[in-house]
Amino acid sequence: MELLHTIILTIHIIAGLSLIGFVLLQHGKGADMGAAFGSGASGSLFGATGSANFLSRVTAVLAAVFFLTSLGLSYIATSGPRVSGSVMDSAPVPTVPAVPAPSPAAPDSKAKEIPK
């Protein structure tokens, strides 16, 4: 189960970082107006409209992967064995060394007798 958790967590992190990157690569709605006045968008790698379609699909797939790995990680986290009881039940009990009490009849006792 630990190996599965590690694999899903790795995919989750990669999908999250890729999702951030692809969202930042997309251009906003206002960028189309700039392309109409010759800002050079038609000479891009994917053509005038090709990048929007490609980036939108990749973003949707990465969002789905991120969502599914989130569900998988939450299932793994909650499916473990449940331990009932208090946290204090598992706390170590401190041990105190026994100190012998001085006996009242000891000859070397420094106790003074109280007059009656």
For the chain, the domain total comes to 1
| 24 within a domain of the structure (yes/no) | yes
Q: Is residue 109 part of a domain?
A: no
Is it the case that residue 78 has pLDDT exceeding 80?
A: yes
> Do the domain assignments include residue 61?
yes
Nearest residue to 48 (alpha-carbon basis) of 60, 40, 56: 40
Q: Which domain holds residue 8?
A: 1-29+52-80
Q: Is 6 exposed, middle or buried (0-12, 13-18, 19+ CB in 10 A)?
A: exposed
**Could you tell me if residue 113 is inside a domain?**
no
Asked whether residue 87 is assigned to any structural domain, the reply reads no
- Is residue 10 in a domain? yes
Average pLDDT over residues 30-37: 60
Query: Which pLDDT does position 94 carry in this prediction?
Result: 81
Per-residue pLDDT band at 92 (split at 50, 70, 90): confident
Q: In whole angstroms, what is the distance from residue 50 CA to residue 29 CA?
A: 15
Q: What pLDDT, on a 0 to 100 scale, did the predictor assign at position 95?
A: 83
What per-residue confidence (pLDDT) applies to 97? 77
How many alpha carbons lie under 13 Å from residue 99 in its C-beta half-sphere?
3
Mean pLDDT in residue range 79-87: 76
| Residue 76 is assigned to a structural domain of this protein | yes
35-75 tens-digit pLDDT:
556 555 544 555 555 567 888 999 999 999 999 999 999 99
pTM reported for the whole predicted model: 0.56
96 in any annotated domain: no
Check if the beta carbon of residue 78 is closer than 8 Å to that of residue 20.
Answer: no
